[in-house]
């Protein structure tokens, strides 16, 4: 019989690092690929300094069917065989490892920097760049198509609207896009390095600003990692209030996105209504915690604010009107033939592409891929109160809009149920010391998709490595694929339909 190759843990749990078998690289590669073949997918894949010295590679595989995660690890040398040719969804993860630690995945078909920062190991650079200088963003070879009538369109980093920076290169034949390459890193703030040796007093606010529109999801993921490491879950009332914040965050963004799509296709009524309604959801979050983005709402150990002094009633009453207007604005949008005509069939991603690339969240669900952390890896109130995962079929702009619409209905419903049966009791518990030499992980379904956090502590209980995977990290490749064969003029619409985060990707 084969010896044990991995450790399996549940969402929010921890394990001593020593219990994760240290496989040699070839065994690791075979085990990880076998795990893929049996239907698992990558939730996180990263390198770290090993306690034993040298580098180590960790694979965190999500196993939807078993509601748990398989953890693999192996020592990592300066060069290793890339697994991307056999498993495309690893492509960015391996590039990230190369960039952060200056190691080389040999045979990687597309080995380029991800965020354009210097290697964390001074003197080791996967591209042999000058040590001591900051790499220039976008300094890499872009994929190019040649031939008659082929032209290239380059956009960004500064775009036309009030949006984050990124660089897009389109290879076009006339109006038709043959290929889109997306080069990011402009929002890179060095977050993972700031977290090394943490938790620090500044860590809470940094977690809340990984991606500002996903404050609650990231902060919840972080809090659960700490609670896992301390072996001290948040009290039930706090978990319910977190879910409330998370669903309000989903509503604000989904409603805002329907409005933005509406604006992009020139249907101004829903654009105007939803623009305002998005603000109403943000204001509901501010009613709860003073910040429209939920800053300060979630804290390790629980939540920073209670729903006291009749606030639950006030929320319910306000929500009542907002809900009616939201449903009305959405109904109008989906009942307008000229709108549907612009959305249908545009920016299609097939189910198999979505699975190969490891897309997550609503972008995956729109392609018919069942993937929702609230459903497969539920914690807290989601264990009892969530069974309505929404999927669609065609993976086009329309499907991504319709998933949002239906999820809006589910979230509204969920919030009402939450507010009606709010558990009583404490809203926070004190977190004890973090257990040393351990790994803890948590996955939270934010509005774009799963937010995955993994912490590895050293002997002192401080972070030896903190890994953040924003859903956008999985999904930008999906946008690039959606553009193939579409008109370049459909880019804004496709882009909005994914509405991915630059800062969440760039860290």
Residue ranges in 470-489 that form contacts with other proteins under rule CB under 8 A: none
Neighbours of 477 (CB within 10 A): 20
Question: From start to end of 301-392, where are the E strands?
Answer: 302-303
Q: How many residues bind ligand SF4 (CB under 6 A)?
A: 2
Angle between helices 311-334 and 268-289 (to 10 degrees): 160
Look at the chain and count its residues.
507
CA 188 to chain CA centroid, nearest Å: 16
CB-based closest residue to ligand SF4: 209
| Two structure tokens written together for 137 | 């963003």
Stretch that binds other proteins, among 70-78, 194-202, 239-247, 441-449 (CB under 8 A): 194-202
Pick one of 7, 17, 48, 210: the residue that binds other proteins (CB under 8 A). Answer: 210
Residue ranges in 174-213 that form contacts with ligand SF4 under rule CB under 6 A: 209, 212
Min separation Cβ 208 and ligand SF4, Å: 8
Beta bridge partners of 358: none
**Residue 165 touching ligand SF4 (CB under 6 A):** no
Pair 388, 405: CB distance under 8 Å: no
**Residue 93 touching other proteins (CB under 8 A):** no
| Rounded-to-integer distance, Cα 495 and Cα 346, Å | 11
Min separation Cβ 209 and ligand SF4, Å: 4
Nearest residue (CB) to ligand SF4, 212 versus 236: 212
Min separation Cβ 213 and other proteins, Å: 6
Burial 432-458 (b: 16+ CB within 10 A, else e): eebbeebbbbbbbbbbbbbbbbbbbbb
DSSP for residue 134: P
**Residue 209 touching other proteins (CB under 8 A):** yes
Min separation Cβ 178 and ligand SF4, Å: 36
DSSP for residue 487: B
- Residue 186 binding target from ligand SF4, other proteins, none, CB below 5 to 8 Å by type: other proteins
| Rounded-to-integer distance, Cα 170 and Cα 471, Å | 23
Nearest residue (CB) to other proteins, 316 versus 421: 316
Nearest residue (CB) to ligand SF4, 209 versus 336: 209
CA 64 to chain CA centroid, nearest Å: 17
| Rounded-to-integer distance, Cα 104 and Cα 125, Å | 9
Instruction: Sort 57 into a burial class: Cβ within 10 Å, 0-12 / 13-18 / 19+.
Output: buried
**Residue 176 touching other proteins (CB under 8 A):** no
Pair 176, 163: CB distance under 8 Å: no
| Rounded-to-integer distance, Cα 505 and Cα 507, Å | 6
Burial 248-278 (b: 16+ CB within 10 A, else e): bbbbbbbbbbbbbbbbbbebeebbebbbebb
Min separation Cβ 434 and other proteins, Å: 18
Residue ranges in 276-295 that form contacts with other proteins under rule CB under 8 A: 276, 278-279, 282-283, 286-293, 295
Nearest residue (CB) to ligand SF4, 185 versus 378: 185
Pick one of 132, 201, 425, 459: the residue that binds other proteins (CB under 8 A). Answer: 201
Q: How many residues bind other proteins (CB under 8 A)?
A: 69
Nearest residue (CB) to other proteins, 49 versus 325: 325
| Rounded-to-integer distance, Cα 243 and Cα 252, Å | 14
3-state secondary structure of 426: coil
Residue ranges in 308-327 that form contacts with other proteins under rule CB under 8 A: 325
Nearest residue (CB) to ligand SF4, 212 versus 492: 212
Pick one of 27, 206, 232, 385: the residue that binds other proteins (CB under 8 A). Answer: 206
Write out the residues near ligand SF4 by the rule CB under 6 A: 209, 212
Write out the residues near other proteins by the rule CB under 8 A: 115-117, 134, 136-137, 157-158, 160-165, 185-191, 193-194, 200-202, 204-206, 208-213, 215, 269, 272-273, 275-276, 278-279, 282-283, 286-293, 295-297, 299, 304-305, 325, 328-329, 331-332, 335-336, 501-503
């Amino acid at each position: 019989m084969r010896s044990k190759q991995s450790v399996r843990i549940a969402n929010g749990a921890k394990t001593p690092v020593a219990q994760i078998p240290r496989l040699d690289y070839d065994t690791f590669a075979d085990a990880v690929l076998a795990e893929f073949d049996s239907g698992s997918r990558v939730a996180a894949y990263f390198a770290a300094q090993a306690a034993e010295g040298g580098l180590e590679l960790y694979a965190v595989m999500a196993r939807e069917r078993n509601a748990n995660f398989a953890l693999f690890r192996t020592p990592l040398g300066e060069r290793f065989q890339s697994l991307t040719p056999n498993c495309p969804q690893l492509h960015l993860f391996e590039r990230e490892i190369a960039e952060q630690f200056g190691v080389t995945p040999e045979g990687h078909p597309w080995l380029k920097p991800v965020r354009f920062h210097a290697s964390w190991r001074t003197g080791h650079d996967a591209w042999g760049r000058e040590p001591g200088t900051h790499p220039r963003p976008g300094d890499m070879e872009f994929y190019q198509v040649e031939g008659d009538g082929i032209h290239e369109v380059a956009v960004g980093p500064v775009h036309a609207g009030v949006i984050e920076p990124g660089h897009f290169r389109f290879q076009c034949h006339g109006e038709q896009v043959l290929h889109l390459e997306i080069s990011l890193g402009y929002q890179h703030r060095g977050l993972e390095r700031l977290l090394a040796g943490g938790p620090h007093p500044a860590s809470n606010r940094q977690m809340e600003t990984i991606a500002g529109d996903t404050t609650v999801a990231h902060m919840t993921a972080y809090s659960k990692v700490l609670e896992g490491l301390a072996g001290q879950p948040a009290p039930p009332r706090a978990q319910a209030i977190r879910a409330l914040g998370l669903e309000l965050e989903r509503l604000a963004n989904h409603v805002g996105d329907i409005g933005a799509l509406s604006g992009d296709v020139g249907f101004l009524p829903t654009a105007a209504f939803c623009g305002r309604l998005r603000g109403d959801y943000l204001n509901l979050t501010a009613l709860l915690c003073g910040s429209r983005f939920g800053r300060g709402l979630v804290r390790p150990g629980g939540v920073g604010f209670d729903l006291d002094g009749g606030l639950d009633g006030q929320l319910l009453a306000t929500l009542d009107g907002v809900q009616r207007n939201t449903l009305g604005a959405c109904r109008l949008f989906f009942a307008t033939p000229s709108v549907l005509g612009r959305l249908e069939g545009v920016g299609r991603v097939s189910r198999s592409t979505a699975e190969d690339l490891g897309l997550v969240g609503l972008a995956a669900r729109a392609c018919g891929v069942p993937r929702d952390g609230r459903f497969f890896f539920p914690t807290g109130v989601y264990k009892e109160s969530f069974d309505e995962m929404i999927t669609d079929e065609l993976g086009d702009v329309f499907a991504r809009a319709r998933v949002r619409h239906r999820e809006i209905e589910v979230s509204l419903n969920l919030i009402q149920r939450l507010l009606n049966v709010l558990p009583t009791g404490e809203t926070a518990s004190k977190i004890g010391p973090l257990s040393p030499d351990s790994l803890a992980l948590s996955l939270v379904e934010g509005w774009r998709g799963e937010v995955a956090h993994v912490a590895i502590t050293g002997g002192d209980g401080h972070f030896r490595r903190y890994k953040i995977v924003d859903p956008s990290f999985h999904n930008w490749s999906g946008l690039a694929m959606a553009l193939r064969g579409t008109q370049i003029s459909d880019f804004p619409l496709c882009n909005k339909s994914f509405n991915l985060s630059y800062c969440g990707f760039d860290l």
